[in-house]
Structure 1
Amino acid sequence: MPPSQDTLSSLVSDKAFHHEENETTDLPPSSVTFTRHRRKLRVTNPPWYRNSLLASVGFLEFANAGDFAANVWNDVPIPLYAKIFMAIGGPLALLISIAALRDGILSWQNVRILQEERRYLFLLRLQHLNPPATTPVDQASVRLIDRRLGVGYRELGSEVIDRIVMDLFLGIGALLVGTGTIMAIWGANSYIYFISNLLSGFVGNGFAAAYGVLNAVWSIYLIWRFRGHDRACMSSTALTPFRDRLHRRFQYFIWHAVVSAITGLVAGAASMLTCRMWWGYVMLIPCMLLEVGCNQFWRVLLGYDRPIVSSQPHWGLIPDYTYREESKQCKESKEVEEEKDNVLLDTLASVISMQKAFSPLPPTHILGDVDWSSLDSLLLFILNHHLFDSLCGWLASDSSVPKDLRHSLFRLDADYTEITLTLADLRGLPDSDRPRLHDLCRNFLYTEGRQVMVGRERFLLEMVGYAAWKDGQLG
């Protein structure tokens, strides 16, 4: 039976609204903190690494074509139709630079979160390497932390090079090209003509060429890395049940890296040619389209959301959380070490099963004893599988949630800038609202819950691949 409902107690100030979890259970207290800006709620705790790449930055290469009119009709007097094209291409390039700025900010938020996670993981690793005098070093936990750090290195590199550096270089290039193109409208003035040619020519387009080289170097590293993952996984008999998923995942990364490297190099060279030769734009057009495709490919098939590892009890493959002290007392040390080595495969198998279960007609034998007709059973299931913060975020933002229920849960009619929601809040709803919340919880599992599991699978596949790759190198 689920724990009994308790009376809600709240600590209210003029700026924050908090619920306190007073239930006595064997589950860790779960709460989600939101900040509100203009009636929009954003989850701030627990922090997540987000697949926040903007679709609009796929059009950054279009800024290189914004100077078409300025370069093709680079003479005086300037034809009227050329001025019209300049008045369109210049502001378009400037607008694209704004998208680069916005994406760079989102990526920097991810970088800060990943750096925070790495600091904690290094401290956790040091703790395992320096146990009390009578305790042996937990090598399996150290290996798991090392694998986590290795995947985090790739995530951090993708954020810095594939987003921040790209946004910086191509954003500045778009800004210069757009400014130079607009200035070309008044190209009859000799000084303006000179500066316009400089900005919309080699200087502005040089940033795209420089990024193309940097991106190619990073892409070559990714190709080498994921080919190593793929070979290691294909040669491991222990990974046979997941071989197709692993191979497909790593091939996706390789394809993306190959296309991105070639596109970046060709687009950089073409942008430099456009300064003098109109046919450079012919080379640039397919690169523009491929960049849009690469952007969409990453957002849909490669990127994922995941919670970061922290000292709080939360899904994140923390060895201390997965294997508690009581299990060590019941088993021989060697058996525990072997189980810890299999934690990735066990978790991956569980996540894949959960994906299959989250369908409009869930196979209950996969989900165990959860009662889909009971709200309390669903809430405990969501909490047990570390989906509570995702549920709260979904309730705060999804259009299917009735406005009056959202107002009741998040106190949107009050002037709070910070709101904390707990399990007790959902259980403490009036009886009239419980059926609606029950339907919403089921809908959440079929939609957002399944997407959370897809993100977990993508991350775990990379963890398994990296672990197999490193174990092969060490072996």
Structure 2
Amino acid sequence: MPQSRSRVQSGWSQKLVAVKKGTRWTQHDSPRLQNNLLGAVGFLELANAGDFAANVWNDTPVPVYAVVLMAIGGFTALVFSVFAFIDSRRAWANISFLRSQRKLLEDEKARRITGSQSTQELDVLLEITIRELRIEIINRWAMDVLLGGGAVLIGTGTFMAIGGSNRRVWLASNILSGYLGNAPIAAFGLISATWAVIVWKKMRHHSLAAGKVLKGAPALPLIKRRCFNLQLFYVVNGIATILGGVGSMLTAERWWGYVILIPVIMSSLFCNVWWRKRVGYDRPWIADPAPMNTNGLVHALESTAQIRRAFQNDPGTILPRIVGGLPSPTFHEVLDFMVKHDLFEKFCLYLVNSVPGAHVLDLRKYTIVELDVSQIAAIPDIHHPQLVGLAEEFLQAEGPRHFQQRERFMIEILGTHLILTEKDQETQAEK
């Protein structure tokens, strides 16, 4: 199978710094954008409907069955608020990564402009980085903070409703589980729906630009499928957040507002799973992007998709099919493959955590280790067959997800490149 060196990978990390914690080695300070959305936050809309009993049986004395339902609803809201705040920390780590990436690219762009150099690849990566940053802020961090904060208010107000025989407690409960608790949800609905329209239009432009340039190319259906996946997510998410905002405000006084929330809850679960499985991706820090051209990006994408399909279509031995070198590739061929496809750090971490790999590297006396390509390449030949076997095990475990997410990122690069190239051509035509 042919391999292609992606034209954006010259700045990708080719070094692992690992720290030993107990019996395991963990990676130290490796900045990456991570597709690590918590599945539990898909239940936030359900959690925010936990005030159902408090609003429906909003009178005194409170029936026993209503007290039980209030306790369950309040507890559920508070539990899922914890998951929301955990996920907000993950989102903030991604936001910090993307802000640093944006600054590096902007500084490099300013330097190149001063030197009258081309900034085309920087423009592509800047646009992607800014879009990723806004997605993390709006679709994740703001969602976690606003819906999680709303869940805290609603959960607290619902528990207070149990003591509704006290007039002051009853009033405080109504405020917390009513308009105040649901206001953050309504605010998020407006912000999210507006952003959904923007991203939907952007993906439409990507699809149209690809259709003009890539007619008949295997890369075209890949781009169109990703655009559809993103558009579907934002259509469902945008409509659901608006309905959720409206429904949540209605529930403060009208029980049938919860009927509106039923499809919203289902949509929230769908969007959470769809994002994690079909849309989101990991991607590395890019320090020194190389020049881009359409043919090179198309070839890199198609090669990555071919490797991804190799994992999907045949569960058997993978290295000879994706690296070559029948009956088995050499260790240096395998190592080159790992470097080309942003797998070097993960592979090294797998090595140091395996008994054979740790023995080969002789790590018994160390609590921190730094490994680069030259060190791994210098391992004596006698160990190479064993290392190739470990590479096969590693790829069987990590390869399918890695190449699936790598493909998504490369589609983003190609689509954005096509859009900016089209704009440049239109600008030149107007001159």
**TM-score for both structures, normalised by structure 1:** 0.78
CA distance in 1, matches of 2:169, 2:366: 52
1:107 to 91, 95, 106: 91
Deviation for aligned residue 1:378: 2.3
CA contact (8 A) 1:370 1:377 kept: no
Q: Residue 348 of structure 1 corresponds to which residue in structure 2?
A: 301
CA distance in 2, matches of 1:267, 1:256: 16
Q: Residue 113 of structure 2 corresponds to which residue in structure 1?
A: 129
Query: What is the total number of aligned residue pairs between the two structures?
Result: 410
CA distance in 2, matches of 1:229, 1:215: 21
Residue 250, structure 1, aligned to residue 227, structure 2:
yes
What amino acid is aligned across from residue 308 of structure 1 in structure 2?
W
Residue 213, structure 1, aligned to residue 200, structure 2:
no
CA distance in 1, matches of 2:417, 2:190: 30
Q: Per-residue displacement from partner, 1:427-471 (whole Å, max 9, x unpaired)?
A: 65996x865543231122234133222222111112211222223
Q: Residue 90 of structure 1 corresponds to which residue in structure 2?
A: 74
Using a 3 Å threshold, how does the CA distance of structure 1 residues 113 and 265 change in structure 2: closer, same or farther?
Answer: same
Residue 296, structure 1, aligned to residue 301, structure 2:
no
CA distance in 2, matches of 1:180, 1:129: 56
What amino acid is aligned across from residue 461 of structure 1 in structure 2?
I
1:382 to 338, 342, 361: 338
Segments of 5+ residues of structure 1 without an aligned counterpart are: 1-27, 132-136, 312-317, 324-338
CA distance in 2, matches of 1:39, 1:184: 49
Residue 143, structure 1, aligned to residue 96, structure 2:
no
CA distance in 1, matches of 2:160, 2:377: 59
2:163 to 177, 183, 186: 186
Deviation for aligned residue 1:240: 3.0
> Equivalent pairs: percent with the same residue?
34
CA distance in 1, matches of 2:356, 2:111: 45
Moved more, 217-226 or 379-388: 379-388
Q: Residue 396 of structure 2 corresponds to which residue in structure 1?
A: 446
CA contact (8 A) 2:294 2:418 kept: no
Residue 420, structure 1, aligned to residue 420, structure 2:
no
Moved more, 277-286 or 215-224: 277-286
CA RMSD of aligned residues (A): 2.9
CA distance in 2, matches of 1:302, 1:281: 29
Using a 3 Å threshold, how does the CA distance of structure 1 residues 73 and 415 change in structure 2: closer, same or farther?
Answer: farther
Q: Residue 461 of structure 1 corresponds to which residue in structure 2?
A: 411
CA distance in 1, matches of 2:107, 2:254: 56
Using a 3 Å threshold, how does the CA distance of structure 1 residues 64 and 412 change in structure 2: closer, same or farther?
Answer: farther
CA distance in 2, matches of 1:408, 1:195: 64
Using a 3 Å threshold, how does the CA distance of structure 1 residues 277 and 191 change in structure 2: closer, same or farther?
Answer: same
2:15 to 26, 31, 46: 31
CA distance in 2, matches of 1:430, 1:80: 75
SS of 1:420's equivalent in the other structure is strand
Deviation for aligned residue 1:267: 1.2
CA contact (8 A) 2:19 2:25 kept: yes
Q: Residue 372 of structure 1 corresponds to which residue in structure 2?
A: 328
CA distance in 1, matches of 2:271, 2:103: 32
Q: Residue 201 of structure 1 corresponds to which residue in structure 2?
A: 178
